[in-house]
Amino acid sequence: MATILIVEDDPLLLDALTGQLQQLEFEVCTASSVAEGTAVLQARAVDGIILDLGLPGADGMELLTWARSHIAGLPVLILTARDGVEDRILGLNAGADDYITKPFNMQELQARLQAMLRRARQPAFTQASSAAGGPSSTIGPLVLDHGTHTAHLQGERLELTQREWELLELLVNRCGEVVTRDDVLAAWRAGPPEPGQSTAAPLNSNALEVYVHRLRRKLDATNLNIRNIRGLGYMLNRP
């Protein structure tokens, strides 16, 4: 039985989340502030966190930062009213595994939580040290070196443009989960333009389809598959 820590200061929402997760046979522990959440994490082992950001006394991002520096690989799902693109980018870049905004659909939350926990248990997804000294991700025959922004497929280096790399990295980091079109476009807009492109170059769903098609062709010889999730975005299937 997996144990989930819910850090939420709204008592009604906290009770609702606790009840729903207990019905799914999760063990649940709760906290309503960063200090309480930190104390729970210091006192017991948990398998994942559902974390609000707008907490009394201290921002939930402080707990995320603490967890990332003290508990390697602990899955964290942010559940917050902060729905700006910049907030989502900040949360994901700080180490959150997923980000859901309020109001939310309980079934989607449950699905994303379970996907996040499956990913954390997946032996095919490993974090290791690359030869360059930076973190790397391995999924089946694909190896990404996040420090050098390079990818190797079946031992051969993949030639990727900057946008292709950013898209592939998002898909790999959230392998088995839906990556929305907005997630990809936000990541692209947060970074510099590709060499030879102006800042005015269009970043939209049509451009994204082109890059997804290119990546599919480059992964075609393997069992790695980028699925279209109708109305939502894309998912990289696990091998």
Confidence label for 19 from pLDDT (cuts 50, 70 and 90): very high
pLDDT in tens, 60-89: 999 998 888 787 678 999 999 999 888 888
Those residues whose C-beta lies under 8 Å from the C-beta of residue 158, and which sit 6 or more positions away, are 150, 151, 152, 218
Confidence label for 32 from pLDDT (cuts 50, 70 and 90): very high
* Assigned token pair, 200: 């005015």
* Assigned token pair, 185: 């476009």
Cβ atoms 88, 96 nearer than 8 A: no
* Residue 237 CB coordination number (10 Å): 14
Q: Which residue has the tokens 């707008």?
A: 54
Distance of CA 39 to the CA centre of its chain: 25
Res. 134: pLDDT tops 50: no
* Residue 153 CB coordination number (10 Å): 17
- Residue 223 DSSP symbol: S
Give the angle subtended at the CA of 96 by the CAs of 211 and 60, to the nearest 5°.
Answer: 140
Q: Does the global pTM surpass 0.85?
A: no
Confidence label for 105 from pLDDT (cuts 50, 70 and 90): very high
Strands (E), 13-149: 27-31, 48-51, 76-80, 98-101, 126-129, 135-139, 142-145
Res. 141: pLDDT tops 80: yes
Percentage of the chain lying above the pLDDT 70 cut: 87
Residue 9: its pLDDT value, please?
A: 96
DSSP β-bridge partners for residue 48: 4
